[in-house]
Amino acid sequence: MSGRFALVMAWRESRGNRRRLMLTVTAVSLGVAALVAINSFSADVTASVRSQARSLLGADVELRSRAPFPDSVAAVLDSMSRAGVAVARVTSFASMVLAPRTGVTRLFEIRAVDGGFPFYGAVTTAPPGRWAELATRRGVLVDTAVLVHLDARVGDTVTIGEARFEIAGVVTSSPGEVGLRAALGPRVFLPARYLPDTRLLRFGSLARYRAYLRLPDDAAVQRFLNQHNALFERHRIGRDTAAEREDDLADALGRLARYLGLVGLAALLLGGLGVASAIRVFVRDRIDAAATLRCLGAATRVVFGIYLAQAVALGLAGATLGAALGIAVQALLPLVLRDLLPVDVAMTVHWPAVLTGLAIGTGIAALFALLPLLDLRRVPPLRALRRDFDADPRRRDPLRVGVYAVLAAALVALAMWQAPSRGIGAGFAAAVALTTAILWLIATGLVRATRRWFPTRARYVVRQGIANLFRPQNQTVPVVLAIGFGVFLIATLYVVQRSLLDQLAVDARPDRPNLVLFDIQVDQREGVAALVADRLTAAPSLTPLVPARIAAINGRVVDSILADTTGRGPSRWALRREYRNTYRDTLVASEQLVAGAWWHGVQTRGEPWRVSVEQDLAAELGIGVGDAIRWNVQGVPVDTRVASLRRVDWARFEPNFFVVFEPGVLEAAPQTFVLLARAEDPGRRAELQRDVVVAYPNVSVLDLTDVQRTLDRVLGQVALAIRFMALFSVGSGLVILIGALRASRLQRLREAALLKTLGARGRQIRDILLTEYLTWGSLAALTGVALATLASWMLARWVFEIAVRIPVLGLAGIWGAVCLLTVAVGLGTGREVLRATPLRTLRELSE
Amino acid sequence: MMIIAEHLEQTYRSGDTALTVLRQVDLTVAPEEFVAVMGPSGSGKTTLLGLLAGLDTPTRGTVRLDGHDLNRLSEDARARLRAEKVGFVFQTFQLIPTLTALENVLVPIELRGAAGPAALHRARELLDRVGLAARMDHYPAQLSGGEQQRVGLARAFAGEPRVLFADEPTGSLDAETGATVIDLLVALNRDARTTLMLVTHDPALARRARRVIRLAAGAIVSDTPADTA
């Protein structure tokens, strides 16, 4: 009975306010939209990965090695091939490619392919059908970026090593690849039978060797892998199956989606704050009505029910709007993430994601609305007679504490559900609480400071505009908080991205090299050095590279350490990898000694040779100063002792090393050289590259400014996705702003009419509003930027370990954009305030 | 003449229905005259006041205020005219909640762009005159109704207006407080020699005027010296 009354009253009570209230709950809509979109999209991607699983790998099994397959493995592959299994080999390495017609040369990835790879999925080319022709034609296919870089076109001839090929066409898409891939490392596809002609694979060349097999079914895949497991293990051959690739990819993309979802969740929570603040204003308007109802005999819980029902209905409406919007955004996401996705994503509406979004949105809106609604339970009936009679504000409401507890629990539960793992979820919940707390502190601090250091000498319109921020029942802090959070995300991202790129900016640092020449053979080093020295003023520096593996540590051979699976031994990766060591007698600029002593003078004969190990690697291996390492240098054992540990600044494009030997022992070992040089002029750099390639085709030249541009693009892509999600937070802030402006509409109209009556001109009213919105935007931007500066400083210092550089101009740009947005939204919402004629407004308002 | 209104007519439209609030009003007010406008609710008193002050444009007819034809002025020009020559006192005080008493009084002067030490001095003096010297830095919410209206009076005279329009200035106050406010209004008006047009329900207040105009259903039904009212 009372429940029905509450519902009926709720319906009647909301008449006339529905539109205004609707606006306030749309604050949760954007958050719901973000969640629905990202979770539906994630389901889409997983489905696409599952359906395109085999073409992701192009085969059923992949074998890979950093060295050519040993005879024993090659024999296995040959026998498989004889047994009718399709086997293909792909060898990839980096090499210079020269286009003689344009004279341009550049480093690209060369892929030597044979045997009809890929077995699943199709490589499309322009002109069409050229992939299949590779089997019969002496030509190469290239990624579009290769043509762009070389300024070449299909039909041109290119020189790779000591051989020449015709560019037969362009690869437009290949299965299982991320769009960004082709831009990152543009490739040249070469028929494997012509690989020897290039004479490129020499000692020390970094190449990857892969073999692909097509097997009838999963059982055959397992049988094959089990049968040869020991052999592959012994020769350090990596294995991957289509099923594993599918799982890995689904996991990785799911993880990405979940991280992005967390940003959406943050937007939703901010929307919740907006709802709380809007409902607080609503409750204040409704206190008299509630008192009257109480006077007329309605029970507390009925009165409370009337307004709670309205809040839940509004929450549901807001969430529904959000879910609908989310489905639209879902269609947009593939465009934003296009270059990061390895599969074509078909869009379908995922009802579980939509319904979950609806439930979460409604729940969050209702929970946040509860806080102010609780006040209605304590409205004394006497207030209907005496307006100034109020409930005792000091009495603690135990229910309020309960609501806060439920809110906190909901936040943690939601974060854990959305995050890739529970730990990340809990961390996120803590981070949100902390960020909100700090943002709230900054926002209230700024608002208070503005009030305290009020520009009393400023023009009247300025003072009035700022004073407007403190009007009764103002929502300045929630608006500043919500927009500030969005600004914080965007600005942090921006500063970190800038700092990372800045660290790698070779152009701006005249002391850093911008050209790296590698794979220089022993007999070529003088010639190459002379060639470079001839063309550049600065003397180039040569660094030797000696490949080696660890044979034993402190007398224990690696295989026995690896076989010991009890306890936490040294990392397998560190034990098994091939090291590229160097030798020299001094420390370089990017290194710092942290333990032991650097070597001086010559080692006594018979003692082990001294090496210096990078500190993190030493930790991985579980060794320190004084420990013994036996190296296998191309079959020759070399005994060493750790003489020192170093810290290395890896974030520099310079040859840095895990292990440095003292001079005197590796000079005779097979080795290659790296040469660093710097040429300011791009034309000079291009010329140098061409001359080196013509004289020494096997030597590769890396132009670091290209690498930097590529990184710029990758970071930009990732940042774009996060920024897109952060926009939802800014959007929520703007919706709250609109809600706040609408809530104070009557006040504003009355004030504008009054000021006009007192003689204010239209321009003066506009200037007052402009000042108010500008201040609003500035406070929000300042709040976000302040926290972003702090956060990026911490990220740069402890996560990326780089120097942070605050891009003042860029941040000022963000500030300007936020101000522009708030002013546009404010003036858009407040048009009627400007237009109001005083008499009519005063008449209407007094009615 | 300070105010000349000819054939004033005002019709408000909302949807298909038209509501004529004023019809065929002709009126002149001399400088320094004190005129009371009386009439039942809805008789058009406030609308008449608003049209005379140029707060809206009449549907028909003309208003000349201190020699200016209001119909020929733009909205901004009328606003400038008000800022220079017109003061207002409202029934519901209409103070700006975000400004202190002193700042509220300063608003008309500042709108005119005449802020400065002299203006500040004058605002303080006026607040002192209405007995609020000690409450200058209080916000409206911290003042009682009577105090708020006294701030309203100080604000009305702050700009040294030629004409003062008062719309039921005691309508929201109890009798005793209302009387104090009226005494102050009359005294300030006498000193400043302002033309005063006052809308009221209160016969006692109307008696203090020199002339009483009665409105009914949007038309003037009588216009007599106060003594015979």
- Per residue, what are the HEC states of A694-756? HHCCCCEEEEHHHHHHHHHHHHHHHHHHHHHHHHHHHHHHHHHHHHHHHHCHHHHHHHHHHHH
Kindly state the tokens that stand for A137. 């034609």
Q: Indicate whether A328 and A191 sit together in one domain.
A: no
Q: Do B76 and A763 touch (CB under 8 A)?
A: yes
Residues of chain A with C-beta less than 8 angstroms from the C-beta of B79: 756, 759-762
Contact call for residues A789 and A806 (beta carbons, < 8 A): yes
Residues 109-138 of B with CB under 8 A from A: 110-112, 115
So what's the pLDDT on residue B31? 93
Say if residue A456's pLDDT is above 80: no
**pLDDT, tens digit, 9 for 90 and up, residues A76-94:** 999 998 988 889 999 988 8
Residues of chain B with C-beta less than 8 angstroms from the C-beta of A842: 46, 50, 55
Instruction: Please give the single-letter amino acid code of residue A466.
Output: I
Q: Indicate whether A410 and A440 sit together in one domain.
A: no
- Total domain count, chain A: 4
Beta bridge partners, A703, equal: A515
Contact call for residues A165 and A138 (beta carbons, < 8 A): yes
Q: What are phi and psi of B92, to 5 degrees?
A: -100, 30
How far is A349 from A399, CA to CA, in rounded Å? 39
Q: Indicate whether A43 and A107 sit together in one domain.
A: no
- Mean pLDDT throughout A110-136? 85
Q: Is residue A239 part of a domain?
A: no
Q: Is residue B64 part of a domain?
A: no
Residues of chain A with C-beta less than 8 angstroms from the C-beta of B141: 472
Residue A797 DSSP code: I
Q: Could you check whether the bond before residue A655 is cis, i.e. omega within 30 degrees of 0?
A: no
Kindly state the tokens that stand for A589. 């600029």
Kindly state the tokens that stand for A529. 């050095």
Closest-CA residue in chain B for A748?
B96
CB contact A840 to B (< 8 Å)? yes
Pick from A677, A708, A727: which residue ends a domain?
Answer: A677
CB contact B53 to A (< 8 Å)? yes
CB contact B101 to A (< 8 Å)? no
Q: Is residue A365 part of a domain?
A: yes
Q: Could you check whether the bond before residue A127 is cis, i.e. omega within 30 degrees of 0?
A: yes
Q: Is residue B13 part of a domain?
A: no
Q: Indicate whether A370 and A256 sit together in one domain.
A: yes
Residue A45 DSSP code: H
Q: Is residue B65 part of a domain?
A: no
Kindly report the length of chain B. Answer: 229
Q: Indicate whether A257 and A167 sit together in one domain.
A: no
Q: State the CATH number of the domain containing residue B160.
A: 3.40.50.300
Residue with structure tokens 């051979």? A557
CB contact A234 to B (< 8 Å)? no
Q: Is residue A241 part of a domain?
A: no
Handedness of CA A303, A305, A306, A311 (dihedral sign): positive
Q: Indicate whether A416 and A268 sit together in one domain.
A: yes
Q: Is residue B52 part of a domain?
A: yes
Closest-CA residue in chain B for A847?
B42
Residues of chain A with C-beta less than 8 angstroms from the C-beta of B83: 758-760
- Mean pLDDT throughout A596-605? 78
Residues of chain B with C-beta less than 8 angstroms from the C-beta of A756: 55, 79
- Nearest neighbour of B96 by CB, restricted to A751, A843, A846: A751
How far is A340 from A249, CA to CA, in rounded Å? 12
Q: Indicate whether A305 and A434 sit together in one domain.
A: no
pLDDT band at A611 (very low <50, low <70, confident <90, very high): very high
**pLDDT, tens digit, 9 for 90 and up, residues A112-123:** 988 678 888 888
Q: Residue A762's closest CA among B176, B59, B144, B74?
A: B74
So what's the pLDDT on residue A1? 44
Q: Do B76 and A837 touch (CB under 8 A)?
A: no
Q: Is residue A360 part of a domain?
A: yes
Q: Is residue A276 part of a domain?
A: yes
Query: Per mean pLDDT, which of A118-127, A207-216, A252-261, A683-692 is the most reliable?
Result: A207-216
Say if residue A847's pLDDT is above 60: no
How far is A130 from A167, CA to CA, in rounded Å? 10
Q: Is residue A485 part of a domain?
A: yes
Handedness of CA B13, B16, B19, B23 (dihedral sign): positive
So what's the pLDDT on residue A497? 76
CB contact B65 to A (< 8 Å)? no
CB contact B74 to A (< 8 Å)? no
Q: Mean pLDDT check: name the lowest of A389-398, A813-822, B156-165, B186-195.
A: A389-398
CB contact A837 to B (< 8 Å)? yes
Q: Indicate whether A11 and A65 sit together in one domain.
A: no
What is the Cα A626 distance to its own chain's centre?
Answer: 41
Q: Is residue B138 part of a domain?
A: yes
Q: Is residue A684 part of a domain?
A: no
Pairs of CB atoms within 8 A across A/B: 83
Q: Indicate whether A316 and A363 sit together in one domain.
A: yes
- Total domain count, chain B: 1
Contact call for residues A703 and A689 (beta carbons, < 8 A): yes
Q: Indicate whether A377 and A498 sit together in one domain.
A: no
Q: Do B141 and A472 touch (CB under 8 A)?
A: yes
Domain that residue B48 falls in: 27-56+75-228
Residues of chain A with C-beta less than 8 angstroms from the C-beta of B99: 464, 467
Domain that residue A761 falls in: 422-512+698-847
- With a cut of 70, list the residues of chain B below it in pLDDT: 227-229
Q: Indicate whether A404 and A426 sit together in one domain.
A: no
Q: Indicate whether A741 and A841 sit together in one domain.
A: yes
The better pLDDT of the pair A164, A258 is held by: A164
Q: Do B111 and A764 touch (CB under 8 A)?
A: yes
How wide is the angle at C-alpha A479 spanned by C-alphas A473 and A480, nearest 5°? 115
**pLDDT, tens digit, 9 for 90 and up, residues A303-313:** 888 888 888 88
- On the CB side of B162, CA atoms within 13 Å amount to 15
Q: Is residue A517 part of a domain?
A: no
So what's the pLDDT on residue A639? 92
